[in-house]
Amino acid sequence: MSGADADGAAPRRSIATVCLSGTLTDKLSAASGAGFDGVEIFENDLVAAPFSPAEIRDRCADLGLAVELYQPFRDAEALPPEAFVRVLRRAERKFDVMEDLGAETVLMCSTTSAEAIDDDDLAAEQLHTLADRAGERGLRIAYEALAWGRHVSTWDHSWEIVRRAGHPSLGLCLDSFHVLSRGSDPSAFAAVPADRLFFLQLADAPHLAMDVLQWSRHHRLFPGQGAFDLPGFLRQVLAAGYRGPLSLEVFNDVFRQSDPARTAVDAMRSLIHLEEQLAGTPAAATLRDRLVLSAPPGPPELTGHAFAEIGVDAESGPVLGGVLADLGFAHTGHHRSKPVQRWQQGDATVLLNAAVVLTGDPGQAVVGALAVSSADPDSSAARAEALCAPVLPRTRGPAETDMAAVAAPDGTSVFFARTGGNWMADFLPTGAEPTAATGITGIDHVGLSQPFDHADEAALFYRAVLGLAPETSTEFAAPFGLVRNRTVVDPSRRVRIALSVAVLRRGEWAPCVPDPQYIAFRTGDIVATGRALRAAGVPLLAIPDNYYDDLDARLAIDPARLDALREIGALYDRDAHGEYFHLATEVLGSRVFFSVVQRTGRYAGSGSLDAPVRMAAHRRQRLRALNGSRTDA
């Protein structure tokens, strides 16, 4: 073993209480449960708590949490003398709290006060005075430039003031949001002496053209969930010599109302994944004698969708089986120990599982599991576990394949099947053989609606745990509200998952198809497959003529091709890299449908441009079905 590894230490991981929903007690329990080493305690959480700071300190100690930071202390500097007297009094009271709390560092953010004077020397002088007071008690002040600070809004300006103040108890808090939202260059951190880097706060965010304060207060995300280069940022901070905790500070409207225990696990996953992205870089090699970053087993190569599983009941099972038969699938096997049917065509395998418990009225169906083919399922499972994915118990009987599975944030079971492995041995053959009946060759992707509270968590889960990368991200106006669709894909484009979520939490006005799910099959000839499906009586969705008239107007498609699409009810999209044809069955049960797609070139995504047309058609079909009439209106 190298001495470098033996001497290094893992960075402490911390989370600000403001990231989590609930009261301080809920937040501390959640942070501890997810494995954090420390917390930033937000003043509002402390003020609302019925415990003294000393009791909170004890509670944190019991939970294994260090109090890494107390925050925020606002509007402290660059003030007229009489106002600064009041600041000193306030500071002394807060230093009392910090001593009781066991917090060594307080965050002071650059002032937004209308009283503040644009005078760096005055700001430095007053911060020096405050640092003197803090230093007498063994406390430190970390000065942070708010991106919307009145006179100080960039990190380099905050450093200039800290430098002028020249006090050992005054240093910088670097916050990735404030730095990156202003387009500042993190490589300049190298000019700051390491002993002036007091604290680091990490937050990601999507690219948004909006007021920076609103952007920060509502749309921050955990690292890996947004568009900022967090690995690049952290690399620069560590290269500059920072050795304090890696602390998450995320203000997010959804996280504020979500189960804090889950949010904390999501946060921990993001930090581990962030560290991992640095661990393998040349820059990290120079840090190894001082820092050991997380390095879960790398993501093994994925080679395709091994199967998708639909939970059915006694009513929906025959319906789904009938449609699969009409789609040209063969019922090739049944499970040795469970009421599970295996249906196959080409490389597409669908399992109908009647052993799962479905809620709601009889006739429900739900996509409950998907399996990816992995070159190394054991490493896939070990990686998933290292990234905080809940490992599912393996319930298997004799002579059955041992297949690891984890639970995705929406409850979907994700299995790791060995590429070329013999998991099919779990099934006894029925005698039927798969054929190329309708030209379906495999599973192109699986589409899953995500719970509102867990959409960002899900995107990070599939990226980090499975090693998938974002392919497309779109928002569209669906008939019942805005929908965001994010497609993630493996490097070889053989495993693709389309995640969709309502942009705003839904109210009582719900569509006929809440939370749709689908399995998209691949074909090399959409027209031939479409005609075969129509001839077989597959309940394909009727697409209105208006759609094809618009397609003609927009894209001037060859008339014969347009007629063929109209005939089979296929939707069409194209981008700079290729084309995408797709058609859908009616909804089976209350939320599941099948889709058949053809891609040409390197078209990216899952046809979400046409989703509103498809969703409106599903609505019409569901209304007819619910009203007891299946005839086209």
Contacts of 183 by beta carbon, 8 Å cutoff, 6+ apart: none
Q: Whole-number minimum distance, CB 201 to Mg ion, in Å?
A: 4
CA nearest neighbour of 226 among 207, 244, 202, 206: 206
Q: Contact region for Mg ion (CB under 5 A) — 84-92, 159-167, 197-205, 367-375?
A: 197-205
Nearer to Mg ion, 192 or 292 (CB): 192
Nearer to Mg ion, 67 or 320 (CB): 67
> In sequence order, which ranges of 16-109 are alpha helices (DSSP H)?
24-33, 43-47, 53-62, 81-101
Contact 103, 134 (CB under 8 A): no
Contacts of 581 by beta carbon, 8 Å cutoff, 6+ apart: 526, 565, 570, 571, 572, 597, 598
Binding mask of the shown chain, residues 243 to 262, with x at each position contacting Mg ion by CB under 5 A: ------x-------------
Q: Whole-number minimum distance, CB 399 to Mg ion, in Å?
A: 57
Nearer to Mg ion, 177 or 415 (CB): 177
Binding mask of the shown chain, residues 21 to 40, with x at each position contacting Mg ion by CB under 5 A: --------------------
Q: Contact region for Mg ion (CB under 5 A) — 111-119, 194-202, 459-467, 606-614?
A: 194-202
Among residue numbers 100 through 159, which ones bind Mg ion (CB under 5 A)? Answer: none
Q: Whole-number minimum distance, CB 250 to Mg ion, in Å?
A: 10
Beta pairing class for 496-502 and 481-489: antiparallel
Q: Whole-number minimum distance, CB 212 to Mg ion, in Å?
A: 13
- Residues 305, 349: Cα–Cα separation, whole Å: 8
Pair of tokens at residue 22: 């609930």
Q: Contact region for Mg ion (CB under 5 A) — 241-249, 253-261, 338-346, 389-397?
A: 241-249
Q: Whole-number minimum distance, CB 174 to Mg ion, in Å?
A: 9
Q: Whole-number minimum distance, CB 249 to Mg ion, in Å?
A: 5
Greatest CA separation for the chain: 91
Nearer to Mg ion, 249 or 515 (CB): 249
- Residues 592, 226: Cα–Cα separation, whole Å: 30
Nearer to Mg ion, 201 or 316 (CB): 201
- Residues 241, 178: Cα–Cα separation, whole Å: 20
Q: Which residues pair with 585 in a beta bridge?
A: 540
Residue 43 makes contact with Mg ion by CB under 5 A: no
Q: What are phi and psi of 439, to 5 degrees?
A: 90, 5
Q: Whole-number minimum distance, CB 175 to Mg ion, in Å?
A: 4
Distances (CA, A) of 564 to 372, 525, 550, 600: 34, 12, 15, 17
Nearer to Mg ion, 267 or 495 (CB): 267
Among residue numbers 260 through 279, which ones bind Mg ion (CB under 5 A)? Answer: none
Nearer to Mg ion, 11 or 311 (CB): 11
Nearer to Mg ion, 148 or 423 (CB): 148
Contact 113, 75 (CB under 8 A): yes
Nearer to Mg ion, 249 or 456 (CB): 249
Q: Whole-number minimum distance, CB 43 to Mg ion, in Å?
A: 13
CA nearest neighbour of 438 among 332, 528, 520: 528
Nearer to Mg ion, 201 or 487 (CB): 201
CA atoms within 13 A on the CB side of 425: 14
Q: Contact region for Mg ion (CB under 5 A) — 43-51, 169-177, 219-227, 447-455?
A: 169-177
Q: Contact region for Mg ion (CB under 5 A) — 28-36, 59-67, 170-178, 599-607?
A: 170-178
Contacts of 286 by beta carbon, 8 Å cutoff, 6+ apart: 239
- Residues 473, 487: Cα–Cα separation, whole Å: 6
Nearer to Mg ion, 216 or 487 (CB): 216
Q: Whole-number minimum distance, CB 463 to Mg ion, in Å?
A: 25
Q: Whole-number minimum distance, CB 37 to Mg ion, in Å?
A: 19
**How many Cβ atoms from other residues are within 10 Å of residue 163's Cβ?**
15
CA atoms within 13 A on the CB side of 456: 27
- Residues 412, 259: Cα–Cα separation, whole Å: 18
Contact 304, 495 (CB under 8 A): yes
Q: Whole-number minimum distance, CB 594 to Mg ion, in Å?
A: 47
Which residue in 201, 258, 349, 590 binds Mg ion (CB under 5 A)? 201
Q: Whole-number minimum distance, CB 369 to Mg ion, in Å?
A: 40
Nearer to Mg ion, 71 or 485 (CB): 71
Q: Contact region for Mg ion (CB under 5 A) — 172-180, 222-230, 418-426, 462-470?
A: 172-180
Binding mask of the shown chain, residues 532 to 551, with x at each position contacting Mg ion by CB under 5 A: --------------------
Q: Whole-number minimum distance, CB 144 to Mg ion, in Å?
A: 5
Nearer to Mg ion, 246 or 302 (CB): 246
Nearer to Mg ion, 69 or 520 (CB): 69
Beta pairing class for 302-312 and 365-374: antiparallel
Nearest residue to Mg ion, by Cβ distance, number only: 175
Q: Contact region for Mg ion (CB under 5 A) — 193-201, 208-216, 250-258, 421-429?
A: 193-201
Query: Dihedral of the CA atoms 617, 570, 521, 448 (nearest 10)?
Result: -30
Q: Contact region for Mg ion (CB under 5 A) — 151-159, 198-206, 474-482, 558-566?
A: 198-206
- Residues 533, 577: Cα–Cα separation, whole Å: 28
- Residues 12, 199: Cα–Cα separation, whole Å: 12
Which residue in 68, 77, 104, 175 binds Mg ion (CB under 5 A)? 175
Strand, coil or helix: 141:
strand
Nearer to Mg ion, 175 or 573 (CB): 175
Residue recorded with tokens 């003030």: 79
Q: How many chain residues are in contact with Mg ion, going by CB under 5 A? A: 3
Pair of tokens at residue 396: 């298997």
Q: Which residues pair with 405 in a beta bridge?
A: 415
CA nearest neighbour of 580 among 558, 559, 553, 608: 608
Q: Contact region for Mg ion (CB under 5 A) — 43-51, 199-207, 344-352, 553-561?
A: 199-207
Residue ranges that bind Mg ion, judged by CB under 5 A:
175, 201, 249
